[in-house]
Amino acid sequence: MSTITFAEKIAEAQDFLPINGTDHIEFYVGNAKQAAHYYKTAFGFQSLAYAGPETGVRDRASYVLQQGKIRIVLTTALKSIHPISDHVKQHGDGVKILALWVDDAYSAFKETTRRGAMSYLEPETRTDEHGEVRISGIYTYGETVHLFVERKNYTGSFLPGYQPWKNDYNPTETGLLYIDHCVGNVGWNRMNETVKWYERVMGFVNILSFDDKQINTEYSALMSKVMSNGNGYSKFPINEPAEGKKKSQIEEYLEFYEGEGVQHIAVATKDILATVGELKARGVEFLSPPPETYYDLMPERIGEIDEEIEKLKALGILVDRDEEGYLLQIFTKPVEDRPTLFFEIIQRKGAQSFGAGNFKALFEALEREQESRGNL
| Identity of the residue, 99 or 327, whose beta carbon is nearer to Fe ion in the bound complex | 327
Q: Least distance in Å: CB of 239 to Fe ion?
A: 10
Q: Which is nearer to Fe ion, 137 or 237 (CB)?
A: 237
Give the residue with the Cβ less far from Fe ion, 77 or 191.
Answer: 191
**Helix 359-372 crosses helix 249-257 at what angle (to 10 degrees)?**
50
Give dist(CA 295, CA 241) in Å, integer.
29
Nearer to Fe ion, 250 or 266 (CB): 266
* Closest CB 119 distance from Fe ion, rounded Å: 29
| By CB under 5 A, residue 251 contacts Fe ion | no
Nearer to Fe ion by C-beta: 107 or 224? 224
Nearer to Fe ion, 278 or 344 (CB): 344
The distance of closest approach from Cβ of residue 13 to Fe ion in the complex, given in angstroms and rounded to an integer, is 20
Q: Candidates 31-39, 58-66, 134-142, 262-270: pick the segment binding Fe ion (CB under 5 A).
A: 262-270
Q: Does 344 bind Fe ion (CB under 5 A)?
A: yes
Taking contact as CB under 5 A, which single stretch among the options 78-86, 117-125, 276-284, 337-345 is the one that binds Fe ion? 337-345
Part of the chain binding Fe ion (CB under 5 A), chosen from 64-72, 84-92, 199-207, 264-272: 264-272
Q: How far is the CB of 114 from Fe ion (least distance, A)?
A: 31
Interaction of residue 320 with Fe ion, rule CB under 5 A: no
Q: Which of 159, 195, 266, 341 binds Fe ion (CB under 5 A)?
A: 266
Of the pair 159, 182, the CB lying nearest Fe ion is at 182
CB-based burial, 316-355: b 16+ in 10 Å, e otherwise: bbbbbbbeeebbbbbbbbbbbebbbbbbbbbbbeebbbbb
Please say which residue, 17 or 330, places its beta carbon nearer to Fe ion.
330
Least distance in Å: CB of 334 to Fe ion? 14
CA distance linking residue 85 with residue 349, whole number of Å: 42
The pair phi, psi for residue 61, each rounded to 5°, is: -130, 130
Half-sphere exposure of 8 (CA within 13 A, CB side): 5
Question: In the complex, what is the shortest distance from the CB of residue 331 to Fe ion, in angstroms, rounded to a whole number?
Answer: 8
What whole-number distance in Å separates Cα of residue 4 and Cα of residue 326?
17
Q: Which stretch binds Fe ion (CB under 5 A): 213-221, 263-271, 332-340, 360-368?
A: 263-271
Print the binding letters for residues 40-79 with Fe ion: x by CB under 5 A, - otherwise.
----------------------------------------
Shortest Cβ distance from residue 220 to Fe ion (Å)?
18
Residues in 166-205 that interact with Fe ion by CB under 5 A: none
* Region of 201-209, 292-300, 336-344, 358-366 interacting with Fe ion (CB under 5 A): 336-344
Q: Are 74 and 87 in contact (CB under 8 A)?
A: no
> Min. distance of Cβ 266 from Fe ion in angstroms?
4
Least Cβ distance, residue 249 to Fe ion (angstroms):
13
Residues at the site binding Fe ion, with contacts judged by CB under 5 A: 266, 344
